[in-house]
Amino acid sequence: MAKSDDFVIRAAVGHIQGPRSAVFRIWSPRGKSDVYAGVRDIAGEIKISLHETGECNAGLTSQFAKEEARAVAAMGGSPRQSQWTRKMHVGYRVVTPLKFIVPASELRTWREQPGEAENVTWLGPPAQGRSIIISCAFSGQCLEDDKWPDHPNGTQFLGTKLLPNDEKFWLVCQDCPTGPVERIMFSEAQAHMRRQRMVRFSSITDDTPPAPRRLIFKEKFEDGLLIVLDASAQ
């Protein structure tokens, strides 16, 4: 765990030596109430920020955007992929501003494996037709550690942090049937790729087999939620 962070979890779906997802890193700096998420092995250095103010955004990191100015221009001139405002909790209410979805159909064997020292939490792969959903949620302090969000509905506890602003951050996951939201996201992404070529990053784009991964974003502004689908580029 980094010295400047007092909450760091790395999680992936699948097996270290077999078909798997990207590796998700979720962390919160020491003494702050902001929470961040990053995704390894994606064509672009992606960072998602869930700020104490409720402001949230997702996109390329500032440093990576500077190094890839031509790619940013091809993306429309902004390194930000999504901006939204999360809802705030009240009492026992739980709000979920970010979900990562990994369908079974998207797990692949990769050229490189995460190092043993990275301390990745491996989540068992779902059966075909199902997905693992990793949820980043906030509540008040009154929600006890053994009563994590959606515990009665079968969610698995990954971690929690009591934030300085008196909120409580939760990381949980659940094995669910792949539903219409995921199918719509795949359909929209395929239509987009037919209209527009993939943005290429000079330093890391790699077309050699197996194909690189991609992230598909969908905002649900009415719910204050961003859904991120981790998919194979094939």
98-113 tens-digit pLDDT:
999 999 999 988 766 6
Distance, in Å, from the CA atom of 125 to the CA atom of 82, rounded to the nearest integer, reads 28
Specify the pTM.
0.85
113 three-class SS:
coil
Domain count across the chain: 1
What's the full length of the chain, in residues? 234
Please, which pLDDT band fits residue 79 given cuts at 50, 70 and 90? low
Query: Quick check: 138 pLDDT over 80?
Result: yes
pLDDT score, position 145? 87
Residue 202 and residue 69: Cα distance in Å, rounded?
10
> What single DSSP character describes residue 209?
S
User: In terms of residue numbers, what domain contains 10?
Assistant: 5-232
Q: Binning pLDDT at 50, 70 and 90, where does residue 43 land?
A: very low
Half-sphere exposure of 24 (CA within 13 A, CB side): 31
Asked whether the beta carbons of 11 and 123 are under 8 A apart, the reply is yes
Q: Does the bond joining 126 to the residue before it have cis omega, within 30 degrees of 0?
A: no
